[in-house]
C-alpha cells in the first residue's frame, strides 16, 4: 500500500521529538508499509538534503534506544522530503496538491502538528484545493480548542471539509500499550468483568503525575493549565475506558459509543460542588529528585501574578447502575514527588473478617509509566503458625519484560493506525465536545473565585487539601496507604 504522510509544522518540536522518532521505530521494526513518502512542510527555505541533515542532528537529542545508526538513518532519510509552505497562502496548497497528485498514492495522511488556532484555516484551504477526497485522512493534534466553543468551531470546520471517518483526533495516551491492555484486561478475560462494578469496587484513582516543571513552555502552559492539558483529555479518556460497558464489537464506533455514554453519565459540576470536590494547586520552590527547583511563578515567561493551576485533584461519579456511589478520583500535576501514571482499582474489604489483625483490601494497579504493567495486590499467610495475621503479596506483570521484542510506542502505534485507517484509538468529535462540556463549570467557577490555586512545595504530592478530598470518603491515595 503506497502512502504519503505530510507533517504540517515539519520543523516543530512535536515533529522532531516525537513523530519522526516514532516513524523511524516503525521503519526499524519493519512495520512501516512499503511505498511510503514522508513530507515535512514549514516556512523555512531549504532543500530535502538540508532538512535531512537538520533532522539527523535532532535525532542526537532523542533517547539513545531510538537513535538510528548512520546506515539506518540514510535508509530512513530516503523516504523524507521537504517543502516550503506559508500556510496563509492558497497557492502553496495548490502546489502541495500537485506534488501529491503526481504520485497518486493509495492513502494520504495530513498531520496537523501545528498550533490549534491554525487548524480551521488549514482545513479550509485543504478543502478549497480538493485535498479532502476519500483517500485523505487528517490527524489533529491536541489541544483541540481552549473551551467548548472553540472545540465546536474546530469541529464544525473539520466536518465541513472532511467526513468523521477521515478525522483522526489524537490523544497519545490511547496509544500506550498499557492503555490498550485496559480493553484486553476487561473484555478479553473472564476474571475481572464480574467484579467490575459497585458491589465489588470501593473507589478508582487515576493519577498522572510529573516531576518536571513547565521548563521553557511557561508562556504556553500559563494559558492552558493542568485541567485543560491533562484532565479534559488524557484523564477522562482513561476514565471512560475503565468505566465503559462492554462494546458489542471491537469496531471503532462501537467502542466510542460506549465511551460517550460514560462521559454523559459523569456527575455534573455546580459552583458549589467545584468548591467541595475540586482542588487546584500551584507549585512553589522545593526539592525534586534531590535538587532545588524554582516555583512556578519564578519559571521563564510565567507572569509573577499568575493564577494558573499546575495541579488538579477532583472527585466525580459515574451515575449509572454499574457505578452508582463509587467515587472516581482524578489527579494530575507538575513538580510532584514522582513521575507516575497509574490507575488504582481499590476493591471493597471482605464482608466478614475471620483472620486476626487489620487487613488491607485487595487492589489492582494498572501501571502506565514509567513502568508498564499490572500489579494485583492480595493477602496471604506465610505459614508461620496459628493465629497468624495476613500479609500483603503481589502478582506483578511487567509488560516490557513479557513482550520485550514486540512493544510499540504510543505515537508509533497511532501513526500506523492513521495510515491504515483504524479509528479505534482516536477520539470522536462528540466525545471531545462532551469532555469540554463537563469541565467548563470548573473553569467558570475558578474564573469567579478570587482565591486562586493552593500552594504546594515542589516534590510533594500536591496541596494537603487533595488528601482531605479522598479522606472525606474514608479513603486515601495509593501512596498514603
Q: Residues with catalytic annotation?
A: 234
Instruction: Give me the residue label for grid cell 516550503.
Output: 84
The alpha-helical segments, DSSP class H, found in 18-89 are: 20-28, 48-59, 70-77
From the list 182, 206, 175, 208, the residue with the least C-alpha distance to 196 is 182
Question: What per-residue string of b and e applies to 16-27 under the rule 16 or more CB within 10 Å gives b?
Answer: bebbbbbbbbbb
CA geometry: angle at 386 spanning 383 and 391, to 5°?
50
91-97 contacts: CB < 8 A, separation 24 or more?
93/125, 93/126, 93/128, 93/129, 93/131, 94/129, 96/6, 96/41, 96/129, 96/131, 97/129, 97/130, 97/131
For β-strands 80-84 and 136-140, DSSP reports them as unpaired
Rg, the chain, Cα only: 24
The alpha-helical segments, DSSP class H, found in 105-174 are: 119-128, 148-161
Q: What does the alpha-carbon distance between residue 159 and residue 12 come to, in Å, rounded to a whole number?
A: 26
**187 phi, psi to nearest 5 deg:** -110, 0
Distances (CA, A) of 109 to 36, 57, 427: 11, 26, 17
CA geometry: angle at 478 spanning 472 and 479, to 5°?
110
Amino acid at each position: 500500500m503506497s502512502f504519503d504522510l505530510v507533517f504540517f509544522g515539519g520543523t516543530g518540536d512535536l515533529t522532531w521529538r516525537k513523530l519522526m522518532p516514532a516513524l523511524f521505530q516503525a521503519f526499524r521494526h519493519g512495520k512501516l508499509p512499503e511505498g511510503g513518502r514522508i513530507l515535512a512542510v514549514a516556512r523555512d527555505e531549504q532543500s530535502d538534503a538540508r532538512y535531512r541533515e537538520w533532522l539527523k542532528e535532532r535525532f542526537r537529542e532523542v533517547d539513545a534506544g531510538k537513535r538510528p545508526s548512520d546506515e539506518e538513518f540514510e535508509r530512513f532519510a530516503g523516504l523524507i522530503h521537504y517543502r516550503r509552505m506559508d500556510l496563509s497562502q492558497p497557492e502553496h496548497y495548490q502546489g502541495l496538491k500537485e506534488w501529491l497528485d503526481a504520485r497518486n498514492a493509495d492513502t494520504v495522511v495530513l498531520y496537523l502538528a501545528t498550533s490549534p488556532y491554525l487548524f480551521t484555516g488549514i482545513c479550509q484551504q485543504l478543502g478549497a484545493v480538493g485535498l479532502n477526497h476519500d483517500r485523505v485522512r487528517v490527524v489533529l493534534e491536541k489541544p483541540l480548542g481552549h473551551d467548548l466553543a472553540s472545540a465546536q468551531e474546530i469541529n464544525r470546520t473539520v466536518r465541513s471539509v472532511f467526513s468523521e471517518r477521515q478525522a483522526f483526533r489524537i490523544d497519545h495516551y490511547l496509544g500506550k500499550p498499557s492503555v490498550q491492555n485496559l480493553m484486553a484486561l476487561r473484555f478479553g478475560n473472564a476474571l475481572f468483568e464480574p467484579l467490575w462494578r459497585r458491589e465489588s469496587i470501593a473507589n478508582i484513582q487515576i493519577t498522572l503525575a510529573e516531576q518536571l516543571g513547565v521548563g521553557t513552555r511557561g508562556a504556553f502552559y500559563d494559558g492552558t493549565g493542568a485541567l485543560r492539558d491533562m484532565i479534559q483529555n488524557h484523564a477522562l479518556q482513561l476514565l471512560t475506558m475503565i468505566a465503559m460497558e462492554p462494546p458489542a464489537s471491537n469496531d471503532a464506533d462501537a467502542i466510542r459509543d460506549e465511551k460517550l455514554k460514560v462521559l454523559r453519565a459523569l456527575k455534573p459540576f455546580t459552583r458549589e460542588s467545584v468548591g467541595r470536590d475540586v482542588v487546584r494547586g500551584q507549585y512553589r520552590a522545593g526539592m525534586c529528585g534531590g535538587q532545588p527547583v524554582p516555583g512556578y511563578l519564578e519559571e521563564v515567561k510565567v507572569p509573577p501574578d499568575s493564577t494558573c493551576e499546575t495541579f488538579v485533584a477532583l472527585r466525580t461519579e459515574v451515575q449509572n447502575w454499574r457505578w452508582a456511589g463509587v467515587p472516581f478520583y482524578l489527579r494530575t500535576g507538575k513538580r510532584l514527588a514522582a513521575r507516575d501514571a497509574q490507575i488504582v482499582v481499590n476493591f471493597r474489604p471482605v464482608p466478614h473478617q475471620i483472620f486476626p489483625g487489620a487487613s488491607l483490601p485487595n487492589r489492582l494497579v494498572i501501571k502506565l509509566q514509567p513502568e508498564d504493567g499490572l500489579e494485583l495486590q492480595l493477602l496471604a499467610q506465610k505459614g508461620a503458625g496459628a493465629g497468624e495475621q495476613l500479609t500483603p503479596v503481589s502478582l506483578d506483570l511487567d509488560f516490557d519484560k513479557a513482550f520485550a521484542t514486540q512493544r510499540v510506542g504510543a505515537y508509533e502505534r497511532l501513526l500506523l493506525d492513521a495510515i491504515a485507517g483504524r479509528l479505534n484509538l482516536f477520539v470522536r468529535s462528540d466525545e471531545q465536545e462532551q469532555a469540554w462540556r463537563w469541565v467548563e463549570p470548573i473553569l467558570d467557577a475558578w474564573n469567579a473565585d478570587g482565591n486562586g490555586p493552593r500552594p504546594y512545595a515542589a516534590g510533594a504530592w500536591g496541596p494537603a487539601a487533595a488528601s482531605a478530598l479522598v479522606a472525606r470518603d474514608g479513603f486515601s491515595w495509593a501512596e498514603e496507604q
